[in-house]
Structure 1
């Protein structure tokens, strides 16, 4: 269970990273990167960031590209939240595939409903 401070920092990092990704993906037409969840460790030294990437078929490549630039991303984050946080946490980036999972369930349920109608 996250403490109140962890929850506030989770929201702060999520908001600021979302803004950073929005600005960076404006140049890339047809690509959308959103921060779905952030989980900060109890010592506030590590942040697990879950990214939802559209189109999902390019997700792995885009995530790999972002991971190679994680130092610059952390620096940009530090520029935005440096006044609120003493230490900027290390960023671990993960692909959030929950939307793909939901889409797959919808397809399966849709196919199941069609079979019942017939």
Structure 2
């Protein structure tokens, strides 16, 4: 029973945080495209690890990540207003680099296939 509830909370948090980042943040440092890929809330609802994928140059990525980390309190307050939970989890924002790793592995496979054919 609790497993299904945590999954629903994860998805609801992901949806609300995405909406807040897209529409609610007015920070000029966020210049790259930011996507919330996943949210993992602990079982006691005290912490939520937010995985973000940032597309842009390295300086844009660093600036956008710093802006997101500094606005975590604002995002937490807005989530608390939108979702009725006993505890609003503290947000821990981390970079999700699985897309970059997938692209790297795809390129390695493509290069291996090119060597094999020649």
Tell me, yes or no, if structure 1 residue 20 matches structure 2 residue 36: no
Residue in structure 2 matched with residue 53 of structure 1 by the alignment = 54
Give the superposed CA RMSD.
2.1
Displacement of 1:48: 0.6
Gap regions ≥5 residues in structure 1: none
Residue in structure 1 matched with residue 113 of structure 2 by the alignment = 113
CA contact (8 A) 1:59 1:95 kept: no
Gap regions ≥5 residues in structure 2: none
Instruction: State the distance in 1 between where 2:14 and 2:115 align.
Output: 42
Instruction: State the distance in 1 between where 2:85 and 2:79 align.
Output: 11
Displacement of 1:78: 1.6
- Within 5 A, what are the aligned runs for 1:30-49? 31-49=32-50
Displacement of 1:114: 1.2
Aligned length: 114
- Give the alignment's TM-score, normalised by structure 1: 0.84
